[in-house]
Amino acid sequence: MYRILIVDDEKIEREVIRFLINKFGFDLDIVEAENGKEAINILKECHVDILLTDVKMPFIDGMELAEKVRHVHNDMEIIFFSGYSDFNLVKKALTLRADNYILKPVKPEEFNQTLNAVIDTIRKKDEEKERTEVNLAFTKKHIVYRLLNQSPIEMLKQEYYDLNFDFLESYNRMMLVHSDSDFLEGLIEENSGYIYEEINKVSNCIKYDLIDLNQFQIILLFKDSKENTEIYRKIAESIHRGIEERYGITVVIAVSEPITETVPISKTYSQLENDIKDRFFYSDTYIYPVDKPLSDNQEFEEDEILLREVERAIEHSNISNLRNNVSNLIQKYSENANVSEMYLRFLLTRLLQRLFRAIPEKNKEDMNRYIELIYSHNHYSDIRDTILEIENQAEANLKNGTYLTMDPIEKVKQYISININQDLSLDMLADEVSLTPGYLSDKFKEETGLGIIKYIKEVRMEKAEDMLSRTDMKVNDISRSVGYNNVSYFIKIFRGHFGISPKKYREIKQRQVK
């Protein structure tokens, strides 16, 4: 409903206008003033869409009133009406952008047409304003969307050079709602009112914008409020609980610290994504971040020690030590998110490989299937259960005496001999026998008197010497056969080992045979 202010010092004139408004069924909220001074006071108190004012009035006349109104309410529709058909008044009225000028006595049909035209103009302005606001709101959301996707703000300011970016300063807090299914996409499209309902229930109507980032994530950007973090965590808990109760879907929600100039929207979102990743460690926690202990660089060294102890326990069939060391490693990270998820998956994969040494009845395909499980599980608790399942099988084999396997050093030597034409590294060989590289290196040198790299070189030279002596293979082919793709490097290594080139070595051997 629009509001019209009728200003005339004669009550009868105001009543005539009121009568005509009702007669023609205009849906208007009618306010009256006896003069321009009273009209100004009314305009200070309430919004008015149409000013219908007499020209000649005491205190402040209609022309002066219109001038004052234009300074404050530039878009207000103004209609003059007066008994003076003075052309100069009409001209001045037009310079003040009056929409119409009606002469007294007012003719009903003329009044009807005039007011219809004015209302139609207001309606069109409102529609255009709404379109502009919708477009502006869309543009602002699009800019936020791109910032969340790490577009540089400098680039966006160049693209939208006519837009004021101060609106970003109104955002003071961010919330990331994440689902592992694409349920959120349907929730936003079909049930968006629910999200607003849940937030408003606990937020005292804190203003916010909602960004539908993708089918798995939505972002809530809160405006202007200076509430503490605990208030926002309560909002997050309510959203989580409501979605789970209504739809049976579990979401996890991360709540940011205040958004600042030094920690803008893009960095805040990246931090929230990192916080959400911690759900891997906390299967029953839904609001993030959680309090985490400070990092200890010695942890990674401790992990290597525990892995070595697992290897020794299997090697010596010590079930008690095996159980204790596996338990220590698992418990260490049961609720410790202060380590990267990928590191933890990698660490537990290495633990799994060592446990498989005690289960020779399972082949490499079985082990790879369990490794895939480690990298596909969503929560640490699921990986823990997988590791414990394999550990139980390993313990059973050790207990029953069914754990029989080739000595790892002999197995490495055999593998080197068979695969001498391949790229061979300490890490790869350690993985082959489910030992840590450091442990394999120490144990290999202890039993053979040679480091692994030197041993590989010795085997390659022996193979090359044999092929040069017994075959007519070209030096290039021999080089590749013993693992050297670069023949120049092979010749250099051979000369360093035997003191002569491969070609010269073959010539000498051939002369000896003759």
Query: Environment class of residue 256 by beta-carbon count within 10 Å: exposed (0-12), middle (13-18) or buried (19+)?
Result: buried
Residues 73 and 121 in one domain: yes
pLDDT at 98: 57
- Mean pLDDT over 127-149 rounds to 91
Quote the CA–CA distance of 497 and 342 in Å, as a whole number.
43
Q: How many CA atoms lie within 13 A of 468 on its CB side?
A: 24
Residue 170 is encoded by which pair of tokens?
A: 């109104």
Q: Which of 252, 308, 261, 329 is nearest to 442 (CA)?
A: 308
Which percentage of the chain shows pLDDT scores above 90? 30
Q: Pairing state of beta strands 2-7 and 50-54?
A: parallel
Residues 240 and 329 in one domain: no
* pLDDT tens-digit series, residues 348-373: 888 888 888 788 767 667 888 888 88
DSSP string, 213-234: EETTEEEEEEES----HHHHHH
- Domain of 214, in residue numbers: 164-288
Q: Please state whether the predicted TM-score (pTM) of the whole model is above 0.85.
A: no
Residues 363 and 475 in one domain: no
Quote the CA–CA distance of 425 and 308 in Å, as a whole number.
19
Residue 262 is encoded by which pair of tokens?
A: 């030094």
Q: Which helix (H) or strand (E) holds 439?
A: helix 437-448
Residue that finishes a domain, picked among 405, 429, 445: 405
pLDDT at 294: 40
- Residue 432 belongs to some domain of the structure: no
* pLDDT tens-digit series, residues 225-266: 777 888 888 888 888 888 888 778 888 999 999 888 877 898
pLDDT at 167: 92
pLDDT at 450: 84
Quote the CA–CA distance of 419 and 285 in Å, as a whole number.
49
* pLDDT tens-digit series, residues 11-53: 999 999 999 999 999 999 999 999 999 999 999 999 999 999 9
Q: Is the pLDDT of residue 132 over 50?
A: yes
Q: How many CA atoms lie within 13 A of 383 on its CB side?
A: 30
- Mean pLDDT over 391-416 rounds to 79
Residues 31 and 87 in one domain: yes
- Residue 319 belongs to some domain of the structure: yes
Quick one: CA torsion of 72, 73, 75, 80, rounded to 10 degrees? Answer: -110
Q: What CATH number does residue 494 fall under?
A: 1.10.10.60
Q: Which of 346, 333, 374 is nearest to 436 (CA)?
A: 346
* pLDDT tens-digit series, residues 439-492: 788 888 888 888 888 899 999 999 998 888 888 889 998 998 899 988 888 998
pLDDT at 21: 95
